[in-house]
Amino acid sequence: MRNTFKYALLLVGMTSLPAMAHIGYGGRDFGTFTATPGATSTIINQSFTGNHGWIDGTDADWGDSHRLRAYKFSLTEEADVSITFSGLSFVNSAGATVLGDTNPGFSLYSGLAHIAPFAADYDSAPGSIAIRDAVGGVGLTEGSFRTLTDWSITNDNNDPASVFTYIGSAYDGSSIDYGTGVIPGADGLADHMVSQVFHLTAGDYSIFVGGTDYFSSGVTPLPAYGLTGVVSVVPEPETYAMLLAGLGLLGFSARRRQAV
Ligand SMILES: [Ca+2]
Ligand SMILES: [Ca+2]
């Protein structure tokens, strides 16, 4: 290959990167937490495109990660972490109103996608397709994203795959069954908000958030839905139990003193 051609290709690749929205955490890093309860981080005015991204990863042909938003956070020690996402309308930088009426779902994984200086991961990278073909059958998957189990993906440089190890998931509204059985994790109340507490060890975590309307993927153009996310460190249940037990002992000794 002539060098000028190579550089031209390189330039095309570089200039087209920002528009492709491969997996990245830009503006969506909740930060690093210790086990001390009370720390909280809120990220507003993010969005995903299409209202089916999360639920589409529950079927046999998996899902397109471009239809979800990726967030990350880190823990320096074992902790109970509350994760909440709400569909919330806002006006974007182009002056357009982003819809708020989604019923979001999210999945939590340990592991991170490639970040700079590595190239971003995306579904149709040759390495990503090879991973899918090996697990899901040649040509049988539509994307790399899997809602309820582990998955892997890589970039154009075939760096060792990013591995997302499934921890848990939750979604807003009543239980969904689009024909493959009930999808677990419904919160039972369709209020555009879903929240769940996870007991986690120290490490790096990714959250993928998307819509839960399975049959909406044919809408053109796909609307964007606004999203607010909150990650907080909360007291562990044993802490509550110890606190209650302590209060009970105090009450007992107070009664004893009164009786004497
Ligand atoms: Ca699918
Ligand atoms: Ca809800």
Spans of all domains in the chain: 24-259
- Expressed in angstroms and rounded, the spacing between residue 55 Cα and the centre of ligand 1 is 8
Model pLDDT for residues 6-45, shown as the tens digit of each residue: 444 444 444 333 345 799 999 999 999 999 999 999 999 9
What does the pLDDT read at residue 176?
A: 98
Distance CA 3, CA 259 (A): 94
The structure tokens listed for 199 are 């007991």
Average pLDDT over all residues of the chain: 90
Report how far Cα 22 is from the mean position of its chain's Cα atoms: 14
Distance CA 68, CA 48 (A): 6
Distance 195 CA to ligand 2 centre (A): 7
Q: Give yes or no for residue 182 having a pLDDT over 90.
A: yes
Cα 105 to Cα 23, 65, 78: the distances in Å are: 17, 14, 25
List, in order, residues 6 or more apart from 237 with CB less than 8 Å away. Answer: 80
> Residue 258 — pLDDT band, cuts 50, 70, 90?
low
Q: What is the average pLDDT across 183-187?
A: 98
Weakest-pLDDT range from 216-220, 234-238, 243-247: 243-247
Between the CA of 146 and the centroid of ligand 1 the distance, in Å, is: 9
Banded model confidence at residue 236, pLDDT cuts 50, 70, 90: confident
Interval between CA 66 and ligand 2 midpoint (Å):
24
CA–centroid distance, residue 75 to ligand 1 (Å): 31
pLDDT of 5 above 60:
no
Distance in Å, CA 144 to ligand 2 centroid: 27
User: Measured in angstroms, how far is the CA atom of residue 66 from the centroid of ligand 1?
Assistant: 12
Distance 190 CA to ligand 2 centre (A): 5
Which segment of 72-81, 190-199, 216-225, 237-246 scores lowest on mean pLDDT? 237-246
Query: What confidence category does residue 209 fall into, taking pLDDT thresholds of 50, 70 and 90?
Result: very high
Ligand nearest to the CA of 172: 2
The pTM of the full predicted model, rounded to 2 decimals, is: 0.86
The DSSP string of 148-162 is SS-EEE--TT-PSPE
Q: What pLDDT does 251 receive?
A: 65
Tell me the residue type at 148.
L
Q: Is 238 exposed, middle or buried (0-12, 13-18, 19+ CB in 10 A)?
A: exposed
Q: How much of the chain exceeds pLDDT 90, in percent?
A: 81
Ligand nearest, relative to CA of residue 50: 1
- Catalogue the long-range contacts made by 38-41 (C-beta closer than 8 Å, 24 or more residues apart): 38/232, 38/233, 39/232, 39/233, 40/230, 40/231, 40/232, 40/233, 41/73, 41/230, 41/231, 41/232
Position 7 scores a pLDDT of 42
- Closest Cα partner for 137 from 244, 60, 214? 60
Q: For 98-141, write each residue's pLDDT tens digit.
A: 999 999 999 999 999 999 999 999 999 999 999 999 999 999 99
Ligand number nearest to the C-alpha of 195 = 2
Q: What is the C-alpha separation between 199 and 73, in angstroms, rounded?
A: 14
CA 59–ligand 1 middle distance (angstroms): 5
| Owner of token pair 């959250």 | 207
Say how many Å lie between the CA of residue 194 and the centre of ligand 2. Answer: 5
Looking at residue 134, its pLDDT comes to: 97
Whether residue 230 has pLDDT greater than 50: yes
| CATH of span 24-259 | 2.60.120.380
pLDDT band (50, 70, 90) for residue 249: low
Q: Which two tokens stand for residue 60?
A: 């046999």
Q: What angle do CA 156, 121, 77 make, to 5 degrees?
A: 135
Q: How far is the CA of 60 from the centre of ligand 1 (A)?
A: 6
With CA atoms as reference, report the closest residue to 165 among 175, 150, 154: 150
